[in-house]
Chains A and B, each alone.
Chain A
Amino acid sequence: MVDLVGQLLEFEFMRNAFVAGAAVALLAGVTGYFVVLRGETYAGHTLSVVGFPGAAGAVLVGVPQLVGLVAVCAASSLGIAALGRVTWERHGQSAAIGSIQAFALGLGFLFTSLYHGLLNGVTGILFGSVLGISQAQVIGLIVIAALVLAVMALIGRPFLYLSVDPEAASSAGVPVGTISIAFLLLLGLSVAATTLITGALLVFAMLVLPAAAAQQLTTRPAAGIAISVVLGLAIVWLSLSVAFFLSDYPIGFFVTTFGLVLYLGCRGVRRLRP
């Protein structure tokens, strides 16, 4: 066992990946909790799809991928905020959102075809890759995690109030608009960070599944957020380890598989409990 762990941590890219995975589990666990609570999972998915041309465009013009992801995801969260939450939710599965997603994916594909070297890396951007995590990206992820968690600590309590009972919160003087926009920005940052590990198409597995599983187990927010982070950590570290030993196979498959199994398991546990 110790031997296996030794092998896992022998290479620098794996140490980077484990630290990056921990940062992502922390980010996705905390923001994902609110995403599931507010029923905004589709917004998270759309943000990650829109991140794809950001990452591909960044490679095309020679900027770090994470920078492109953060820029595009943050800009798109502001766009969603501008459209207004009501419009957004109402159009949750409408033709407009489908069109925007398809166009974003097509744009990303255009960038990858303009930059020929990336054509093999496109599956990495879409479905995640362990080998790609550099020291600089780890530092970037830690900075993002620190920033998001600091703001989250600041707005956490009023935001929870607002998510559970918006009308009461508003009449109690909670600045609803400001906090909602701040959260969307944090969500954009978290999605950008998660994309580095899971790829643009599988963000759902890290952002939604740990939080949804946690909400099956407890209704208390603090405990739920803690469980969500721990489950996220378990999913990402387990996936990294398996992907290391079965290096022919992609990490995206393991992340989605472990996420789905954990979520269904937690649902089962709730069913069994009296």
Chain B
Amino acid sequence: MTGPLLWLQAMLAHEFIRDAFLAGTGVALASGLSGYFLVLRNQVFAADALSHVAFTGALAALAFGLSEIGGLLAATLFVAVILSVLTTGTRSGDVVIGAVFAWILGLGVLFLSIYVSGRSGGAGANGTAGVNVLFGSIFGVSPSQALLGAGLGAGVAAGMVAIARPLLFASLDGDAAMASGVPVRWLGLVFLMLVAVVAAQAVQVVGAMLMLGLMATPAAIAQRLTMRPYAGMLLSAAAAIAAVWVGITLSFAVPHLPPSFAVIGLLFGAYVALAGAAALRRT
């Protein structure tokens, strides 16, 4: 066997790496698919809002000793329902929405300090808990969390595939879809709830602050490469999964390179390269 293959085999011999790949693939698949529709429907802002909620939900679970994924799912699903009720006419520039979500972040920091001061001599754990929630800790997932992550990811992906056709119709031409009997509002709600599940599970993999990158950037890459929706969905999911795989491998190989930054950096680099190439071709 050749060197690189041996090296890969040695890497995959670690259980935490296998768990990281398992959880990361599930989250990437779900993010890539749902992210494509987020961008298409101009709802990137909703994902941003849900990531704030995920941050606060994760820290609340830590502060009050609740089950992390359970509390997170409850929080993000609740906000997804509220967002989809309010969604008509909300814009990112809306001061009320912006203010409420800034306050939710502030609340998260409050929970962080409750968690820290509730632990005896927790100075060491202090920074790490907050940093893990903000920027992910994919090398710290347990085997059962990895299985759950992969399962949720597969579930969301199946849900996205199931609603893809009517959702596409509703997203591209809402009036025509409604006229031909597509339940546009219900579809919007189901979609945002799927995004909420992705937000809850992405906290561990890339962290609350970077999940927007895992959702929006693969979709932006796909939209630069193809106009066809189904090809775009597949490309978006493929880009997310490839970035997670290469990112995990890179950060295993390079010391001090955080896996979440490696993933987001790869995606952003690809996006900038594509945008640059398009700009060059135009001139």
Residues of chain A touching chain B, judged by Cβ–Cβ distance below 8 Å, are: 36, 39-42, 45, 92-103, 105-107, 109-110, 112-114, 119-123, 126-127, 201-202, 204-205, 208-209, 212, 248-250, 252-257, 259-260, 263
Knowing A98-B213, A257-B106 are in contact, say whether A122-B130 is a contact too (CB < 8 A): yes
Residue among B99, B114, B131 facing the most chain A CB atoms (10 A cut-off): B99
For this complex, 6 residue pairs linking A to B, each with C-beta atoms less than 8 Å apart, are A93-B44, A98-B44, A99-B213, A105-B209, A112-B131, A250-B106
| Interface residues in chain B, defined as those with a beta carbon under 8 Å from any beta carbon in chain A | 39, 42, 44-45, 47-48, 91-93, 95, 98-100, 102-103, 105-107, 109-110, 112-114, 117, 123, 126-128, 130-131, 134-135, 207, 209-217, 219-220, 223, 256-258, 260-261, 264-265, 267-268, 271, 275
Q: In angstroms, how far is the closest chain A Cβ from the Cβ of B246?
A: 15
A202 to B48, CA, bound (A): 14
Contact B258 A120 (CB under 8 A): no
A99 adjacent to B112 (CB under 8 Å): no
Query: Would A119 and B216 count as touching, CB distance under 8 A?
Result: no
A95 CA to B41 CA, complexed, in Å? 11
- The A interface is mostly helix, strand or loop, or mixed, namely helix
Given A41-B98, A119-B127, A253-B106, list of 16 further CB < 8 A pairs? A92-B92, A94-B39, A98-B212, A102-B214, A102-B217, A105-B209, A106-B265, A109-B258, A109-B260, A110-B265, A202-B106, A208-B95, A253-B109, A256-B107, A260-B99, A260-B100
Asked if A123 contacts B44 (CB within 8 A), the reply is no
When distances are taken between beta carbons in the complex, the residues of chain A under 8 Å from B264 are: 102-103, 106
- Does B47 lie within 8 Å of A98, measured CB to CB? yes
Checking B42, B93, B109 against A41 with a beta-carbon cut-off of 8 angstroms, the contacting residue is: B93
State A102–B39 Cα separation when bound (angstroms).
15
Q: Among B110, B131, B260, which residue has its beta carbon within 8 angstroms of that of A122?
A: B131
Please determine whether A212 and B217 come into contact, CB atoms closer than 8 angstroms: no
Q: A102-B213, A110-B261, A253-B109 are in contact. Are A93 and B92 (CB under 8 A)?
A: yes
Can you name the residue of chain B whose Cβ is closest to the Cβ of A43?
B93
Q: A106-B260, A107-B261, A122-B127 are in contact. Are A95 and B223 (CB under 8 A)?
A: yes
Please, how many angstroms separate the alpha-carbon atoms of A102 and B217 in the complex? 9
A45/B212 in contact, CB under 8 A: no
* B106 lies within 8 A of A102 (CB): no
Q: Are B257 and A248 in contact (CB under 8 A)?
A: no
- Cα-based distance from A109 to B215 in the complex (angstroms): 19
Give Cα A250 to B44, complex, Å.
29
